[in-house]
Structure 1
């Protein structure tokens, strides 16, 4: 075999050996990658976090990872959480979580610190169950007239009531005695009113019979005694003319009316020792919210926008139940919120849905928007009633 033939035979063999070497290298690299992946997956949860091909220790609560570790089972550089952020547990995150903000219908129980988030709870008079998402605080219920309060409403529970004749859940009290007294009063008071009404009827009937039987005697009884001083010729003439008018059967309404000064003069002449009657005060005229066809007057809050609006929600209980859903849809409340509120009593439904609308609108929430929505639904009487009551109770005033 010559030299050229040998070279031709050896070249394919050499190429095959080179390919085998590359394959072995690739297999080795893949195995190393799989080992590193398995190593990363073996980091202890809530205590370590993976970085490169090893595990780093978590930073303590109230801090975050500013720079990751360079060796396995070591801790990197940790930095404290900045103001407005927190880390409640040991973490491997590179930044802390943002502190939460309480809703408008909640109060802050505990401020946000580096190791705990802000803690909020519903304002007094409202509640939110702990096992439900607290989007809007609900208004506390009130026990009915035939119920007793077992436990008061708290920020996380509603008022608990029981029937008056049901067995008490706690120690013995004097509640049964109080219930008996209430029943006695409920029976006696109507009887007393009935007796008074009958007595007044008898008195009025006897007085009417007496007037029919002896009208002259009644006239004598209503005469007002005056002083016995001698009267002047002018007074005698006036008395004589008055007698002639009565004989002619002149009606009282045909006589001329006396002015204020004339009444005071006559009173002083007849009773010089008494003081003249006080002039009548003009009646207070309540300003109307709107004319029959004119535009409504705008209401301006007196107690602050949020407080005046919240206190006015109870006035919307007078809305016609048939227009509830139309009204709330017109102001932007979702059908889902309306369906949830329909499981409650009508008064609570109106209040809760208005709170949902107020939370949705934020700073744009205004009573004039609600009144305009009622006008658009041809509920002008309800709108005027709510506006006048809000002004009368001092929540708003006319612009």
Structure 2
């Protein structure tokens, strides 16, 4: 029985020894602790030390980095101050400093970068970016509608809050009355216009064409008086109705005033001529407009070279172009897709941003264009694209703003000669 118990004890000891050997731990004790501890068991003080070659080195202070690590535990190696435009905010064991952040064109600098603090940026006035969202671009603050009241102003990190006003019965009745008045006024204007047009056409019809167009008949023409008069009257209606009616009406009024001044002398002169018809001379046929009507800036017939095509040159380098991106927000939204295709963006890039607000969409796609074109980006290419789409008014406004705000000037601009004033 004793032998059996002894065998069990020996088996248990042998098993424990095998487990200890497999775990990789040394069984030799020295001073009550285990020697040759693996590197994973080395623990350094947080924010005060960093591990290096199985020892702990003291961290370098904020504003510097580790140029070379320590060779003895709990000592500090060689630290080097951060260069310009780099920083470290805390004690660290970094091998190089961090690069300072650059604020975007739609942001402004709150605090400049130092060797111990990164740049602080915030959205410009009138824009915001929620801190819990990916802030790739500052969005434009919402403007409350006429039937809404402002609950909270827009800040750099939150949008405007608007609340819809509760409509009362008086407001409803006032709105109904206003709508009725607008309809009545519109109907009155239309009826008056139609009556005036009808009266005007009636007055022109009441004028006997034979009285307005009768002239001395050339007896050698081979046509009778009636055939000659019909031929002349036919010429009156070959031109556009509205322009002829206006011209004839004005001439008839002028003739009437002239007749009043001259009295009966004009009539006696007409009767004294044997070859003239026994009626008052009529107004001559109205001549067509001598000049074409002016073409509006956005008319389809406008040519690109109607606008002076002097080249714009930047006054502040690349910043001049990005500072003018907001001016392109005035481009008609119906021309957005064609404009961005014209400057070289593909449909995929345009479609991915179609759900943005028009102003944000313009700003973001212009940044995509800037990254694509790089050093060759020029505001002259953007202006040329607008002119190609017959958006001359927008192009003129953008050029005027870019020059007045001091971002661009015309190439080869000469100083003003006071002697020519």
Question: Does 2:187 match 1:194?
Answer: yes
Question: Does 2:284 match 1:253?
Answer: yes
Assess if the C-alpha contact under 8 Å between 1:317 and 1:347 holds in 2.
Answer: no
1:115-264 alignment, distance < 5 Å: 115-143=116-144, 147-165=148-166, 185=178, 187-199=180-192, 201=194, 224=257, 240=269, 247=278, 250-253=281-284
Question: Does 2:365 match 1:353?
Answer: yes
1:272-287 alignment, distance < 5 Å: none
Inter-CA distance 318–142: structure 2 relative to 1 (3 Å threshold): farther
Q: What is the CA distance between 1:356 and its match in structure 2?
A: 3.1
Inter-CA distance 237–359: structure 2 relative to 1 (3 Å threshold): same
Normalised to the residue count of structure 2, the TM-score between the two structures is 0.54
Q: What is the CA distance between 1:307 and its match in structure 2?
A: 4.4
Which residue is 1:327 aligned to? 341
Which residue is 1:386 aligned to? 391
Question: Does 2:104 match 1:64?
Answer: no
Inter-CA distance 137–62: structure 2 relative to 1 (3 Å threshold): same
Which residue is 1:264 aligned to? none
Assess if the C-alpha contact under 8 Å between 1:136 and 1:356 holds in 2.
Answer: no
Mapped to 2, the partners of 1:140 and 1:242 lie a distance apart of 82
Inter-CA distance 338–132: structure 2 relative to 1 (3 Å threshold): farther
SS at match of 2:92: coil
SS at match of 1:319: helix
Q: What is the CA distance between 1:250 and its match in structure 2?
A: 4.8
Inter-CA distance 390–153: structure 2 relative to 1 (3 Å threshold): farther
SS at match of 2:45: coil
1:303-322 alignment, distance < 5 Å: 305-319=321-335
Which residue is 1:24 aligned to? none
Assess if the C-alpha contact under 8 Å between 1:309 and 1:366 holds in 2.
Answer: no
Q: What is the CA distance between 1:115 and its match in structure 2?
A: 1.9
Q: What is the CA distance between 1:393 and its match in structure 2?
A: 6.0
| 1:332-383, Cα deviation, whole Å (9 max, x unpaired) | 4583x54542334567545543343245545533355457779xxxxxxx83
| 1:66-93, Cα deviation, whole Å (9 max, x unpaired) | 5544543344454543332211121122
Mapped to 2, the partners of 1:180 and 1:48 lie a distance apart of 76
Count of paired positions: 320
Inter-CA distance 134–87: structure 2 relative to 1 (3 Å threshold): same
Inter-CA distance 315–246: structure 2 relative to 1 (3 Å threshold): farther
Q: What is the CA distance between 1:47 and its match in structure 2?
A: 2.4
What 5-or-longer segments of structure 2 have no aligned partner? 1-26, 212-248, 315-319, 404-409, 412-421
